[in-house]
């Protein structure tokens, strides 16, 4: 073997070793950064420390409220607050019974109604920061229908779906840097990733749809939460059917992040017997 071929061979071996080490490191990082989804037990990628995510959530939630017109309708406000607090207590009880109450130990629940009749949407940021747009209330119709929506959104939060989506986006778009570094070096891009990950944006085209896996988990956990809060889980079927009827060329904003095919509604029906075990009127 000539000197040139030998040098090339050494380089190839070095690259191979570096690749294997990098692969092992990545796998170790992924394993160390796993979170467990309540009820389903699935392991999910969770690269962002909760403290950093909660701090960012507080900032972005305050910004959204400042830039939005809040509803002054007392009936709407009381309904969202009433149902929201019951879902929040149900979430706390459920996680405590599951032995993972630390997942929301730093949550400070807030429920606000944003006056926007053209936007049918609702979301829950980390820390229990919740917003309901008035445009979704014609679909929820009553407390139980609203409980289906809030149970679903709180389920996304306690399952840390947003953290998983942000972790994946940081890896894909910003090279997997830490959130603090991303906010420092690319604040605008990082904030956009955060808002899209939690379904919080005025630009429907920029909304990031939840995966089928996340939706199934949020449906299943959300039904359990609404049942524990004293709402009939069957009401969730009526809500999603109402959403589906408005499918068409300009579907409600909620469907941009939470697609509702008929197969999904059938899946929800299959989760109801499990949720009914927690139901007390």
Contact 273, 221 (CB under 8 A): no
Contact 128, 109 (CB under 8 A): yes
CA of 192: how far to CAs of 47, 112, 202, 208, in Å? 18, 22, 11, 11
Contact 49, 179 (CB under 8 A): yes
Q: Has 266 been annotated as catalytic? A: no
Which residues are bridge partners to 131 per DSSP?
112, 123
Contact 106, 50 (CB under 8 A): yes
Catalytic residue from among 60, 92, 110, 153: 153
CB atoms under 10 Å from CB of 93, counted, come to 15
> Known catalytic residues?
153
């Amino acid at each position: 073997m000539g000197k040139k071929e030998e040098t090339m061979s050494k380089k190839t071996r070095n690259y191979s070793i570096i690749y294997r080490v990098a692969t092992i490191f990545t796998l170790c990082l992924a394993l160390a950064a796993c979170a467990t989804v309540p009820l389903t037990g699935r392991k999910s990628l969770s690269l962002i420390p909760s403290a950093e995510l909660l701090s960012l959530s507080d900032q972005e939630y305050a910004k959204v409220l400042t830039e939005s017109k809040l509803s002054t309708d007392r009936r709407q406000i009381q309904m969202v607050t009433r149902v929201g607090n019951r879902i929040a207590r149900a979430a706390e009880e459920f996680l405590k019974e599951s032995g993972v109450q630390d997942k929301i130990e730093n949550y400070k629940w807030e429920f606000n109604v944003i006056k926007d009749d053209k936007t049918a949407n609702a979301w829950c940021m980390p820390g229990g920061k919740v917003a309901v747009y008035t445009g979704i209330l014609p679909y929820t119709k009553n407390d139980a229908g609203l409980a289906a929506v809030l149970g679903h959104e709180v389920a996304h939060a306690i399952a840390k779906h947003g953290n998983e989506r942000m972790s994946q986006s940081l890896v894909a778009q910003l090279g997997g840097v830490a959130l603090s570094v991303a906010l420092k070096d690319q604040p605008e891009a990082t904030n956009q990733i955060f808002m899209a990950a939690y379904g919080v944006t005025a630009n429907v085209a920029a909304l990031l749809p939840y995966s089928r896996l996340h939706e199934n988990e949020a449906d299943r956990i959300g039904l359990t939460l609404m049942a524990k809060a004293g709402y009939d889980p069957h009401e969730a079927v009526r809500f999603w059917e109402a959403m589906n009827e408005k499918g068409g060329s300009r579907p409600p904003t909620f469907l941009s992040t939470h697609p509702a095919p008929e197969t999904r509604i059938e899946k929800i029906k299959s989760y109801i017997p499990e949720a009914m075990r927690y139901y007390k009127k």
